[in-house]
């Protein structure tokens, strides 16, 4: 993986493999992140946001029968 490499240094690879480049929309990404974090917060008593797209949920004291089902409920609510 070549994260953080300037495009001019990999231009030959981009051309060779017909890679398409897209610009980022950080405003939209931040808005979507806030929505996801809000959803996650409603499923756990405590949450630690690690980065714009990562969070840790403390599920201590949360009762659920099936962890897969619980995860699917979270996913369904955020979708």
The pLDDT score that the predictor gives to residue 4 is: 84
Do 62 and 44 form a contact (C-beta atoms < 8 A)? yes
* Run of H or E including 16: helix 7-16
pLDDT tens profile 26-76? 999 999 999 999 999 999 999 999 999 999 999 999 998 999 999 999 989
Q: Total domain count for the chain?
A: 1
Q: How far apart are CA 51 and CA 66, in angstroms?
A: 27
Q: Determine, yes or no, domain membership for 23.
A: yes
Residue 69 within any structural domain of the chain: yes
Coil, strand or helix at 34: helix
Query: Exposed (0-12), middle (13-18) or buried (19+): which is 42, by Cβ within 10 Å?
Result: exposed
2 domain-assigned: no
Question: Given pLDDT bands bounded at 50, 70 and 90, which one contains residue 3?
Answer: confident
CATH number at residue 47: 3.30.70.270
Tell me if 1 is assigned to some domain. no
Range of the domain at 64: 7-78
């Amino acid at each position: 993986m070549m994260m953080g490499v300037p495009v001019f240094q990999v231009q030959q690879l981009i051309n060779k493999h017909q890679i398409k480049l897209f610009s980022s929309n950080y405003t939209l990404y931040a808005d979507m992140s806030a929505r996801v974090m809000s959803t996650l917060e409603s499923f756990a008593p405590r949450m630690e946001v690690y980065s714009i797209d990562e969070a840790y949920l403390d599920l201590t004291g949360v009762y659920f029968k099936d962890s897969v089902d619980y995860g699917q409920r979270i996913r369904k609510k955020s979708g």
